[in-house]
Amino acid sequence: MSKRGDTSAALKSAPSENLVSVLKKFYDEYMTSTSKRLKIVDAYLVYILFTGVIQFVYCALVGTFPFNSFLSGFISTVGSFVLAVCLRLQVNPQNKTDFVGISPERAFADFIFAHVILHLVVINFIG
Amino acid sequence: FPVGDTQKVLSEAIKDSVPVADIFYAFSALKNLGLQVDNAKVTSALTEALKKDDSPQSAGYGFFVASQLTGDTKKIFDSIEDVVAQADEVDDKYLQFEGGLYTTALVVDGAYKLAAKEKKAPTMSDDKVVKFANYFLSRKHVHQLRAAYQLVSVIKTLTDNQFHIPVAITLASPVAVTSSSPNVKVQVTNLLGGSIGSLTVTADSAKHISSEAIVLSKKPFTSKDSSTYELNFMQAKPVRGFYKIIISAKPSKEDKKLLGLTGAEVEVKVTTQVSIENVEIGVADKDQTTAARTTKVQYPGKASTVFEADYHQKIIVKFQLKDKADGTKMSAHQTFLKLTNQKTNQEIIFVADAASNKFDLDIGSSAGQFGHLSGKYSMELIIGDAVIENPFSWALGEVNLNFPEGQTPKDKGLDRYAKKPEIKHLFREPEKRPAAVVSTVFTFLVLAPVLILVLLWMKIGVNVSNFPMSLSAVGFHLCLAAIFGLYYLYWVELNMFQTVRYLGLLALPTFIFGNRLLSGIASKRKGEKKV
C-alpha cells in the first residue's frame, strides 16, 4: 500500500503516539483524501476479503472433503481481490505517471475481461 | 433303374475345362452304371485337367480314372514317380503328402490300381513303399469318414497287389519277459494280418537300451504257426532292463514282392524279482550320521520293539536291494517310507536317497508334515520299479513320535475342492460430509458480505443515477449477465466445449457494447475535464 504512503508520511513526523491514535489518524486521512471512486473499490475489496475468510473458516471447520470446491471458491476470492487491487492501482490518478496510456476505462475493461476468464476457470474447477 | 438323361448329363460333365475330381466322379458313375464311355474324350479331358492342376490329390483321382480307361495311359503312369517325389518324409520313418491321410491313401491306392492295369510296377522305390506303409499304420485314429474309407482301401491294395507287399513284424507276447515266461513271440504278416507264407525269422541283435550291451545276435526264431514265431529270450541270460530286438525275415520261397523284411524293431523288457536285505532301522540325534543302536529286520517280519523318537532326533532306515536272478545289487525307482498315524490314519510319505538306499528322516524339520501330532505311527517300506516283478509294501514296525506341545495343529488344511469362504466386497465408503445444517449456515454466511458491500456502497454514495440509458450500456450489462448465466449452466450441465463456444458467441457483443460504453464514458470525462 505504498501509494497511501505519502499520506502516512505526514503522520510519521508527528510525535510517536500509541497504536489507536495512529490508526484513528490513518482512518481520518483516508476518509478525507481518497476519492469516491477509490472508496467504492475499497469497499468491494473488503467484501471480497470477508467472503474469502469465511470460506477458509468453513474449510478449517469441516475438513477439505471436496477439496476442489474449496480451492475453486478460495481462488475465486483471491483472484478477484488481486484484480480489484490492480484496478485500483490503475485508476488512482496519483499513479498516472506509472500507467501511461492506460485510461481508467481501459483498466476497467481489463478488469472485466480478466474476471470473465477467472470465473470460467473457477466454474470448471468447482466440480 | 431308369437311366434316362443320366448318360447325357454325365458324359457332358466330362469336358476339357473341368477339374480332375469332377472327371473322376462322372467317369466312375458312368462305369458303375454300366453306361457307355467315350474313352478318347475322357483321356483328353483328363490330360488337360492334369496339366492345369498337378496337386497330389488330383493326381490320385487321375490314377483312378486312368486305371479304368482303355487306351494309352502310359503318360499318366509315368507321372507316378514325380507325384511320389512330392511327398514329405517325416522322422526318417514316414512318407506323407501335404493333404494328409486322405490324399496320401488316394495317391498310393490309385498308383497301384493303375499299375495293375499297366501290368508294370509303379515307379516307387522299396523303402518309399515301406515308409508309406508305416505312415498308414500309424494313422489308426482317423478324423474323416472318407479318410477312413480310403485308408482301408489302400491297406487292402497293399496286401494283394502284384508288385509290393509290405511285411509287418509285431510283438505278439506281453512286453515283460521273465524267467517264468521266457519267450518272445512275433507275428510276421501282411498289413492286414494275413499270412504271407513260411519264412525263416532271425533276431539279428538284441541291445540293452541303457547300457547298449548286445545280448545276442543272429538267433533264429522257431515257427509256431503260419505267422507266429517264437524265441526263448531268457536263454541268453539277459540282465534286467529294456531291450530292443532287431528282426529280419527271409521267405522260404523267393518272393520279390515282399518288402520291409529287415530292420524291424521290437521292444521288450526283462523283469526280475527283487530281494531286500540288510535292513537296519535306528534312531539317532540330529547331528549324528549313523545311529548308535540299530535294529535289524528281516523281510517280511516286523521290528519287535516300538521305536521312540522326538523332534531332536532323526530316524535312519538303511536297506539293500538285490536282483534275485543274478545276485547283483540293484536300485529301484520307487523307494518310499510311509508313516501312518494310527489314530488319524494320516499318511506321510518320504522318498529315499536312491544312490545309497537310505532314509534320513529329520523329525524336527518335517514336523509340519506330521501336523505336529504326536503319537504312534506305523512305518511301511514301499519298493517298486518297471522291471521289478514283485513290488511290495512292507510293514517295518512302529515308532512313537514326540512333538513339542503347544504347537497348534495346522487346521485340517482347507479341503482344496470345497467351497472357499465368500469374499465380501466393501465398496469405498463415501467420505463423511458435514451436517446439512452446518453447510447451509455457512452458505448464508458466505453470502452475507454482499449485504455489507451494498451497505458500504450506499454509505459512500454510489452514483447509480448516472447510469447512461444507452443501448451500449444496457447491452453491455445484459451480455455480462448472460456470460455469468452461461457459467451457471456450465456448472449445472454443459461441458467445456459447449461453454467455450457460447462464450465465444457472447464475447463479441459484450466486447462491442463494452467498448462503446467505456469510450462514451471516457469521452464524456474528457469533455468534463476540458471544461
Q: What's the pLDDT at B467?
A: 67
Q: Chain A closest CA to B366's CA: distance in Å?
A: 55
Q: For B320-350, what is each residue's pLDDT tens digit? A: 888 887 788 888 888 888 888 888 888 888 8
* Residue A115 confidence (pLDDT): 92
**Option in B453, B519, B521 nearest A44 (CB):** B453
Contact B445 A54 (CB under 8 A): yes
Phi, psi for A117 (deg, rounded to 5): -65, -45
B274-412 fold:
Immunoglobulin-like (2.60.40)
Q: Indicate which of A77, A106, A116 best probes the interface with B, i.e. most B CBs within 10 Å of its own CB.
A: A116
How many residues are present in chain B?
Answer: 531
Cα distance between residue B201 and residue B194, in whole Å = 16
User: Is A35 an 8 Å CB contact of chain B?
Assistant: no
CA distance B88 to B56: 12
Confidence (pTM): 0.51
Distance CA B292, CA B411 (A): 36
Which range is least confidently modeled, B56-60, B92-96, B383-387, B526-530? Answer: B526-530
Q: How far apart, in whole angstroms, are the C-alpha atoms of residue B440 and residue B433? A: 13
Q: Of the candidates B63, B60, B136, which has an alpha carbon nearest to the alpha carbon of residue B96?
A: B136
Give the ipTM.
0.74
Taking only residues 464 to 483 of chain B, the set having a beta carbon closer than 8 angstroms to any beta carbon of chain A reads 480, 483
Inform me whether the C-beta atom of residue B19 falls under 8 Å from chain A C-beta atoms.
Answer: no
- Contact indicator for B241, B270 with CB cutoff of 8 Å: yes
Chains A and B form CB pairs within 8 A to the count of 76
The stretch B503-523 carries a mean pLDDT of 85
Residue spans of the domains in chain B: they are 3-163, 168-270, 274-412, 466-526
8 Å CB contact between B77 and B120: yes
Which residues fall within 8 angstroms of residue A66, CB to CB, at 6 or more apart?
Answer: A127
Whole-angstrom distance, CA of residue B232 vs CA of residue B235: 6
| Residues of B with Cβ-Cβ distance to A116 under 8 angstroms | 483, 503, 507
- Helices (H) and strands (E) in chain B — how many of each? 12, 21
Top-tier CATH class for B168-270: mainly beta
Q: Which residue has the cell 532323526?
A: B314
CA distances (Å), origin B93, targets B130, B136, B159, B461: 9, 11, 20, 113
Which strand ranges, in their side-by-side order, compose the sheet holding B274-285? B294-297, B274-285, B313-323, B358-362
Helices (H), B272-410: 367-370
- Residue range A104-127, pLDDT digits in tens: 888 888 898 999 999 989 988 887
> How far is Cα B295 from Cα B305, in angstroms, rounded to an integer?
9
Residue position matching grid coordinates 445484459: B478
> For B238-273, what is each residue's pLDDT tens digit?
888 888 888 888 887 777 788 878 878 888 888 888
**Residues B455-498: pLDDT tens digits?**
888 887 766 666 667 777 788 888 888 888 888 888 888 888 88
Phi-psi region of B218 (alpha: psi -120 to 50; beta: other; left: phi over 0): left
Selection from B275, B80, B49 nearest residue B164 by Cα: B80
Burial class (CB in 10 A: 0-12, 13-18, 19+), B275: middle
Q: Under an 8 A CB cutoff, do A51 and B446 touch?
A: yes
